[in-house]
Amino acid sequence: MASIKIKSALVSVYNKENLTPIITKLAAMGVTFYSTGGTQKFINDLGFGVVPVEDVTNYPSIFGGRVKTLHPKIFGGILYRRDNESDKKEAIQYEIPSIDLIIVDLYPFEETVAAGGSQEDIIEKIDIGGISLIRAAAKNYKDTLIISSREQYLDFENLLDLKNGETELLDRKTYAAKAFDTSSHYDSAIFNYFNQEEQIPVLKQSIRQAKTLRYGENPHQKGTFYGDIEALFETLSGKELSYNNLVDVDATVQLIDEFEDERKAGKSTFCIIKHTNACGVATADTTHEAYITALACDPVSAFGGVIITNTTIDLATAQELQKLFFEVLIAPDYDDNALSLLKEKKNRILLKRKKVTFAKKQIKSLLNGIIEQDKDLKMETEDDLKVVTKKTPSYSEIKALIFANKIVKHTKSNTIVIALENKLLVSGVGQTSRVDALKQAIEKAANFGFDLKGSSMASDAFFPFPDCVEIAHKAGITAVLQPGGSIKDQDSINYCDENNVAMVTTGIRHFLH
């Protein structure tokens, strides 16, 4: 039976917005309505008759509305196979009505959790009857059509107009697939709510929003972003974000958030990212000064980069930014004249960041599975620094070490970061040895004419040998931060003591792979 004329419909919805046109069209087609409670009243108020579910089942809504549709006569009407002789005989024997269409909108479980509802409210928003109706109708898609969410109302209304109340098998199968998406998404949300405490080692993720990207990392790769980018940013100008843009944007956001205390103190920070690694970071009293200082770290790598700040972009800063080719600029706000200037280059992506709390877990596809971990939320303060050398770092050196360590945390391992107070000088990133990372940083400093005398150095992991501190000392570095924990820590400490270099350990490693 490919084509079916809708003759009867069970309507049970929580949110009735945009439902009126559908009910009106179905009524005009002579469809018989079955319903309960608020939905029944809604249809009656529109002036149309409804067969109460209680009249079919001979049972009232019981247990405070927890049980309304859960009855063999209702589910039989949905599930019985119209082309099966045995099923048809039983339907007649038990006076089971045929139900061709199910329209359901589930209790708002996710919304109730997000709004901070009480546990009692949240539990009562776990839909039982609705989810059962959805699954039953989707299973029997050969005979029934399931509309499982109010997001499908407009599409279904168009289908009614197009086919005058008839549905094809492909229509019903398509809506069945959407129904199982609805039910699986709903159940995943419920499971993840309960699993906050239970911590069952199971990963369930259901992300509805999907955006096809121009391509993946390279033009020959397809790419899709699953998530709600509009919840994070308002796009003010420019083309759509690419796969690589998104990866770099994530890196910039994670890094800038380390400087929240500085923002609260009235200072501005700028971070410039290239291929997920920082090539310029600076904190200053003004947005303009922070940008100029950050750009000076590495104006070559900044070309084509992603830039972020934690304060409003003013005209003076925009005039400087206008001189540089970059892919993306992110800020919490823009002065009107600054935004007008920056918009002159049409392909440049300008984003206004919204206040959003990120998940505390990270997942990544790998081999034939997925790995999950807690997000690295630790960032050391001055109280976490343990001086292990005879020389204690100065106030300025401590500030520089903490500043460098924030960048280390968000830079590919192996990494070495060399900084002054509130300013990145150079870094060595993604090297197979820490010595190579340090040499890379020193060579880069020489190429840019940076004097490393009096600078401070942070490492993402311990030094197994004293070679790094020796190289650093000879380059003019006077203070070092490292996690510690090597069985040969003392060798590095001894070298520092012999050469008047300060060293602190944190006990925390910040690998980033």
Catalytic residues: 139, 275
CB-CB contact of 335 with 274 (8 Å): no
Close Cβ partners of 40 (under 8 Å, ≥ 6 residues apart):
50, 52
Three-class DSSP category at 398 = helix
Which is nearest to 461 in space by CA: 494, 500, 439, 489?
489
CB-CB contact of 402 with 264 (8 Å): no
State the helix-helix crossing angle for 129-139 and 169-198, rounded to 10 degrees: 140
- What Cα–Cα distance (Å) separates residue 198 from each residue in 90, 117, 382? 44, 19, 36
Close Cβ partners of 447 (under 8 Å, ≥ 6 residues apart):
none
What does the block give as tokens for 400? 């520089």
Distance CA 323, CA 314 (A): 15
Three-class DSSP category at 220 = coil
Query: Which secondary-structure segment (H or E) carries 330?
Result: strand 328-331
What does the block give as tokens for 370? 């997925």
What does the block give as tokens for 381? 């303060």
